[in-house]
Every structure is written in C-alpha cells, then in structure tokens.
A and B are shown apart, each in its own frame.
Chain A
C-alpha cells in the first residue's frame, strides 16, 4: 500500500513504458488515448528520450519500425481507427521479426464510430492485425495497475520473442484512476545482434527485411515463426480465475467487461447460483486449456463482451462447443450493467439444465 499513487490508466501505462527502458514514442492524437501522448510529450525530454508526434498513424508505426530495427525499445499508441491505419506496419513488424509495443485504447466502431469504450477490435488484435500469417502477443489490462504491469511485461515479451506486443485496453481502463504501484522490478536486457547499428567495419551487414521471392524460403520463415508461436502458447498464457472452483456458470470476460462480470458473479452467488469468471489476461495466446478444464464441471458459459460477439468464438473453440455459450454484450460505447450480466447468468443456468 505504501507507495501507491492515483493515476489514470493511460498515464500509468506511459510511465511504465519509461520504466521498461522505452525512450522512443511516436504518436498521433486520437480520443480516448491522447493522455498517453500528452504524458510522454512531457516525460520523454526529461529522461533523454524522443517524443515525436507523427504526421499520421502510418508514419508513426513506420518510425516504430525504424527504432525497433535499430534495436531499441519503442512504443506507439492509438485508438481503434488509428490502429486500422497502423495495420500495415503491424504486418511488417511481424514479417521483419521486430519487437515493439503497440497500445490500442479501443473505442466503438466501425468507421469513425464513437469515442466511448469498446472491445470490438478483438478480432483485429487476435486474428487480423494485417496481411499474412502472424500473431501478436495481445495483453488485456483490467485495472490501472495492469495498464502499468502489462506494459512492463509486454516490452519484455516483445524482446524475448522478437514480436509485437499489443496492449488491448479500452476507454474505461485508459481514463479511470486507481491506486497503482510503480514498483516494476528489474528490466531484463536482450542481445540484439540482428539490429542495424552500423557494421563498424567489423561484421557483414545486417538486413531487416520481410521480403523473399523464393517460396521455399518464405515458407521456412513462416514455419520458424509459428514454432516460436507454439512455444509462446505453451509458456506465456495468463489468466485470472475468480470463483471458478465449483462454478456451474463460467463467465469469460476481459478488461472492463470482466470487472462488471465480477459484480454480477457476486450477486449471482448471493442468489445461490454458482457462477465464476475466467479472465484472459493474454488474449493471444488464449487460455484454451483453462476453459477446457472449466468445461468439465461447468454447465454453461457466458461470454461478456463490448462487441457483437468476437471472443465468444474462441470460447466455443476452446471448449469444442461442448457446453452452451451465451453472449452478453453491449456495443457502440455502451457497457453492460452488472444486472444485465446477472440475468444472462440466470439464463445460462437454465440453458445449462436443458442440455
């Protein structure tokens, strides 16, 4: 408790990036993530870092590619429409096997959408962040504390696996204040012999590149990348279990939706319904094994989302559709109330009986 301070999620995230050794940030204003840029515009010059407001999201992500190529920790942040623009760069980051941290403080879509919280970029983050076969590590904070700790962890994972970590947050977590401890521990540094820093006349040239016109070679690059992904799926899954030991009804939710679901679960328990929550912290890799195990006992699942039903597909896949999975969702910037989640839990209780 001692050293906790009240901070906005967006600001805690930005400060954690500095603590993780990130000294380069490229951004572009868009609600509701602008605090990240504003905070770093103040902080970066004080720690000898670079803050640069790019001419576009596209330029910003390519500046990220430049710094990542040079072997340094780098971050950009945006909100949904801006992330669409960055998608080209996300694909190149993957193709070049570059580490970077990209933050999406989601708002409602599609198109210009709205500026209120949303989780409707789940598919984008976990499936379709750009063209080609690739994944990003996708971390979903549900508190201001996690905005900080997952950014710190995210930089480490990015370097460890030479890939992009995406922080998939939402407007609520970005805008809210909570007590946060910025005691993040030691930064682990990684050798980057592949980086372009100048040959110094001492080695052959390094090339950071995603192009190969030889199908056999390009296939091998992809296969090697997916071997790394398989390792990540084994080693890096993170989730929180809340009252799941005896749960008949298991809610699955991340970010702000998980917080609402917790209220509903407490209310359901008070009514005698054994409800619980699995909160994926890593959306990719998705906690498939935990859900599969929960399905052994649970009668039904409820996917609580701020989207028209995106994560629900991963829930169904994880449990191989062995139990009914209900969707509780609000979109467009609306957030489900605990009462709405509770009534879906009750519905699931009945659905579970029918099966």
Chain B
C-alpha cells in the first residue's frame, strides 16, 4: 500500500528553494489539488518573478513565465483564449502587492475566472531580503535596516482585506503553513479555489502566510514560530469573502 507519494502534478525535479522555505509545501498543496480534481491535463500555471520564478519547471502542467507583477493579466489572456482551461497564478508579495497591484485588483474587479495563489512571506527573497509591501512595522530588512518605519514608508498592505471590498472577487481566504493543522486548512482552501474555477464561479485568491528563514535570519523552526507570533496577529487567518459560502 502506498501511504505517501509525490503528487503527479509536481515534476520530479529538485527544487531550488532554501532549506526550511515553505514554498515547497505550497507547491505540493497546489499539485495535490490539481491531482485530486483530475485537471492536470487542462491546467495552465502562470509563474511570477521572485523566489518562485522557476515554478514553471516544478509543475507538470503547461506553464507561462510572466513579467514581474503581470501574472493576473497574462492569466486573463490565457483564460480568455481558452475558457475551458483551468488557470492559476502563483505569486509572491512583491510581485502581487507592489508592482502588480493594479493587475491584482482589476483581475478581481473583472471577476476573472482564475485562481491566484498568493505567497506572503513579508520580504523580497530572491533579491536577498528587501522590504516588501507586506513587511511588518518595525521589521528589519536590507532596505529597512532600522526596522520598517511607518512614518516614512507607510504600512503593510493587507491584500485579503483590500480585495474583500472588490465586488468582482468571489472567494478570498488567508491561510498559513506553519503547522500541520494550518497546512491542512491551506490545502482545503486551495482545492476549493480550483473547484470554484471549475464551476465558473469567478475570481479566487488564497493568501498563504509563508516563512523565509534565510532572509529573516532564523532557523526554519524559529521562522515558523516568528510567523505564528508576528505575522498571524497582523494578518489574521480566515475567509474574507465567499460569495458561495451557503452552498458550501
């Protein structure tokens, strides 16, 4: 009996992520959802610019590598070209909530029938740990060496809260991958978002609070603790919007 195996939608290649990085978990959750829904053959993923830029090598479905922040626009094009395809973007916080804010908000406003996986680790990882739009007040990064000072650089962007006011958005949920319980909940949310798309229900975004041990300067287990103690209080978990909550 097989108790554990790699999801088919996840390519059999070595991931480049740092030790302790939670991108691997989130990749797996996405792949599991694709497997369980049996949609690998018709799924198109849109990879971002950032740590997960090579996501196009890690999923076995067709993939497009977008410019920084533009994944929802590219996804819009792919979906409009072939509406029977299942289209998802996989984006980090800099990509989605800074340079790509307009694309994010407007794809939600249009109610594009796509699924956005938003990985929030409060830092720009790939370029070596700079301040992100989601970096917490006081958090030290390479470009906020004295801690994020809200008086001069402003406050973090809470994406789920922001989009919950966008009429066109269908389903918004914030999850975390810092412990088994939360990972399971994250998997369920991601699967639900894909299922909504299959049912033609419109725009879904799952925000996944994620850790970055390397750039946070913490060991993997301490990073998960830090996520629990600092990020979750600032970014509360839960469903921010679900137009079809009653049905579910």
Is A207 interfacial (CB-CB < 8 Å)?
yes
Contact in complex: B65, A205 (CB < 8 Å): no
Q: Are B77 and A24 in contact (CB under 8 A)?
A: yes
Q: Are A69 and B74 interface neighbours, CB within 8 A?
A: yes
A62 close to B70 (CB less than 8 A) = yes
CB-CB under 8 A for A209 and B64, given A55-B103, A58-B70, A65-B74: yes
Report B-chain residues with C-beta under 8 Å of the C-beta of A210. Answer: 65
Cα separation A65 to B59 with both chains bound (whole Å): 20
Instruction: Please indicate the chain B residues that have their CB under 8 angstroms from the CB of A52 in the complex.
Output: 76, 80, 110
Partner of B41, one of A66, A198, A206: A198
Assess whether A92 is interfacial by the CB under 8 Å rule. yes
Shortest distance from the beta carbon of B106 to any chain A beta carbon, whole Å: 4
The interface residues of chain B lying within 8 Å CB-to-CB of A69 are: 64, 74, 77-78
Whole-angstrom distance between the alpha carbons of A208 and B80 in the complex? 17
Nearest A-chain residue to B66, judged by Cβ: A62
Instruction: List B contacts of A50 (CB < 8 A).
Output: 80
Q: What's the interface size class on A, roughly? A: 35 or more
Chain B 35-50, CB-CB to A under 8 Å as 1, else 0, gives 0000011111010000
Which of B56, B62, B81, B102 contacts A66, CB < 8 Å?
Answer: B81
B63 surroundings in chain A (CB, below 8 A) = 196, 205-209
On chain B, the number of residues with a Cβ less than 8 Å from chain A's Cβ atoms is 36
* Known contacts A24-B77, A198-B82, A199-B60; 14 further A-B pairs (Cβ under 8 A): A55-B106, A59-B102, A65-B70, A66-B74, A67-B77, A67-B80, A70-B81, A70-B85, A71-B81, A197-B62, A197-B82, A206-B63, A207-B56, A211-B65
Nearest B residue (CB) for A72: B81
| In the complex, residue of chain A having the shortest beta-carbon distance to the beta carbon of B65 | A209
Complex Cα distance, B116 from A58, in Å, reads 19
Task: Please report the C-alpha to C-alpha distance between residue A211 and residue B57 in the assembled complex, in whole angstroms.
Answer: 11
Selected A-B contacts with CB under 8 Å, 26 pairs: A52-B110, A55-B102, A55-B103, A59-B73, A59-B76, A59-B102, A62-B70, A65-B66, A66-B73, A66-B79, A69-B64, A71-B81, A72-B82, A74-B81, A89-B70, A96-B64, A96-B65, A197-B82, A198-B43, A198-B62, A199-B62, A205-B11, A205-B62, A205-B63, A207-B63, A208-B65
Contact A205 B60, beta carbon cutoff 8 Å? yes
Contact with B along A33-70 (1 / 0, CB 8 A): 00000000000000000101011101110111111111
Bound: A62/B82 CA distance, A = 16
